[in-house]
């Protein structure tokens, strides 16, 4: 299907296209889609030309470059391939060539910004072959898996290269921010040649006076030794949000991993162990203390959770109660459950500040962070048969944290439009 430019001036185009409307409804809709793509290719080709020079000499980095003439190049667009004649420059001494159009139009690999944005957004959600099928089936775009991977890698590389220089403004929230909750969690994923390794995910959550969640910022890092990259990213986001909301109460929420608390105690005023992790351990204790009576087991567990949540002395009272019950447990398996719970409570009782949190209207659960580990890592990186190299895993995590943090994806592409691409 062909589209033709009927009229063009400095600010607009008039394009003619013929759309066949015979056949079934689906066939007619596909014909309309193909016509829109034809118009899009012609329009984008014309738009690309307007980002080129007129061929006169230019200065780049203090060096004079002259045009070697117009040469054709195939650009990937959301609508199809657009072939454009553009000026290619070189210095009088030869060497590398330079294409002003590519820089001015923010070309990524061989793609226009919008197509790179579409492909990388899709790749954040599904594998390369799925993206390929989606583009062909739903957009009428046939591209190679290699191009999809190259675009996703390039976009993620921009994000990683600029993460120390590009700051993102917090989104506007509908209510004043009273509490900021900072959470950290890990999720194991299969690495090629390295077995199961832990990827890290962090959340920074804004709450209003009523405890309603207003906004969540997601941070992630592929498996690494020492977690230095992850903590560096968390530090940057935490400092930004503290600067934005200096009067908010800062709460750290996590499970019992020691390395998490070393970081959270440095950055938060209040630290609270996730209530639901503690409740899971209480369930193990209930199994051990009341192995043969479901009613008594359920009654004790409900009462224990209530005391843990509402009584200031709840953690200490429950710990003593479980310690006194150790002698009555005969089964090795059940004794191991009870011992694990006792150890967990003994190590973390100072972080079980649930009644205090409720008095102050502070959160007690890290469910948002737990969910983030599933959303950022498990749903995309732990599908059947997947094995990842570190760079590939980081590409996906960078894209997913960008797309899942409300407002961040739009700001990222605005910065590309404003500042261009890293050299």
pLDDT band of residue 226 (cuts 50, 70, 90) is confident
Residue 140 lies in a domain: yes
pLDDT tens across 112-136, in order? Answer: 999 999 999 999 999 999 999 999 9
Q: Are residues 202 and 242 in the same domain?
A: yes
**Which residue range is the domain that position 391 belongs to?**
179-274+365-406
Q: Are residues 202 and 289 in the same domain?
A: no
Residue 56 lies in a domain: no
Rounded CA-CA distance 124/229 in Å is: 20
pLDDT tens across 170-192, in order? Answer: 888 999 999 999 999 999 999 99
Rounded CA-CA distance 269/191 in Å is: 36
| φ, ψ at 56 (rounded to 5°) | -75, 155
145 near 165, Cβ under 8 Å? no
Q: Are residues 153 and 254 in the same domain?
A: no
Burial 94-111 (b: 16+ CB within 10 A, else e): eeeebbbbbeebbbbebb
**pLDDT for position 419:** 93
Q: Are residues 337 and 253 in the same domain?
A: no
Q: Are residues 401 and 266 in the same domain?
A: yes
Q: Which residue has the tokens 């959303």?
A: 375
List helix spans (H) across 170-253: 228-244
Q: Are residues 283 and 420 in the same domain?
A: no
Q: Are residues 281 and 266 in the same domain?
A: no
Residue 218 lies in a domain: yes
Q: Are residues 265 and 300 in the same domain?
A: no
> Residue 356 pLDDT > 90, yes or no?
yes
Q: Are residues 198 and 265 in the same domain?
A: yes
Q: Are residues 138 and 245 in the same domain?
A: no
The structural domain count of the chain equals 3
**pLDDT for position 1:** 75
Mean pLDDT value across residues 45-68: 96
The sheet with strand 270-273 has its strands ordered as 213-221, 195-207, 179-191, 249-254, 270-273
**pTM score, whole prediction:** 0.91
Residue 101 lies in a domain: no
Residue 379 lies in a domain: yes
Residue 92 lies in a domain: no
Q: Are residues 270 and 414 in the same domain?
A: no
Residue 55 lies in a domain: no
Residue 401 lies in a domain: yes
């Amino acid at each position: 299907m062909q589209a033709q430019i009927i009229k063009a001036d400095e600010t607009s185009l008039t394009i003619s296209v013929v759309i066949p409307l015979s056949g079934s409804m689906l066939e007619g809709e596909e014909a309309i889609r193909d016509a829109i793509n034809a118009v899009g290719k012609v329009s984008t080709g014309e738009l690309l030309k307007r980002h080129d020079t007129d061929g006169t000499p230019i200065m780049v980095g203090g060096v004079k470059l002259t045009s070697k003439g117009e040469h054709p190049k195939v650009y990937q667009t959301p609508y199809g391939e657009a072939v454009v004649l553009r000026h290619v420059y070189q210095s009088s001494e030869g060497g590398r060539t330079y294409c002003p159009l590519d820089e001015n139009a923010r070309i990524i690999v061989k793609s226009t910004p919008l197509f790179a944005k579409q492909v990388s957004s899709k790749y954040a959600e599904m594998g390369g072959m799925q993206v390929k099928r989606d583009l062909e089936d739903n957009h009428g775009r046939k591209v190679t898996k290699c191009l999809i991977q190259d675009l996703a890698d390039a976009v993620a590389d921009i994000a990683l290269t600029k993460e120390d220089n590009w700051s993102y403004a917090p989104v506007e929230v509908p209510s004043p921010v009273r509490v900021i909750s900072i959470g950290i969690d890990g999720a194991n994923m299969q690495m090629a040649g390295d077995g199961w390794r832990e990827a890290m995910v962090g959340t920074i959550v804004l709450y209003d006076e009523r405890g309603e969640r207003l906004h969540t910022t997601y941070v992630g890092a592929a498996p690494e030794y020492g977690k230095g990259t992850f903590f560096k990213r968390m530090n940057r986001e935490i400092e930004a949000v503290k600067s934005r909301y200096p009067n908010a109460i800062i709460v750290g929420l996590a499970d019992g991993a020691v390395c998490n608390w070393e970081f959270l105690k440095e950055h938060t005023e209040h630290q609270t162990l996730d209530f639901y992790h503690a409740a899971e351990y209480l369930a193990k204790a209930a199994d051990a203390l009341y192995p043969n009576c479901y009613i008594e087991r359920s009654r004790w567990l409900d009462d224990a959770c209530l005391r843990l949540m509402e009584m200031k002395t709840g953690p200490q009272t429950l710990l003593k109660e479980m310690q006194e019950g150790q002698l009555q447990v005969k089964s090795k398996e059940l004794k191991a459950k009870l011992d694990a719970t006792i150890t967990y409570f003994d190590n973390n009782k100072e972080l079980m500040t649930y009644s205090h949190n409720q008095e102050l209207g502070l959160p007690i659960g890290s469910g948002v962070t737990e969910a983030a580990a599933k959303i950022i890592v498990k749903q995309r990186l732990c599908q059947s048969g997947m094995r990842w190299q570190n760079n590939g895993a980081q590409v996906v995590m960078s894209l997913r944290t960008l797309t899942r943090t409300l407002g961040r994806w739009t700001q990222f592409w605005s910065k590309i439009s404003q500042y261009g691409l890293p050299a």
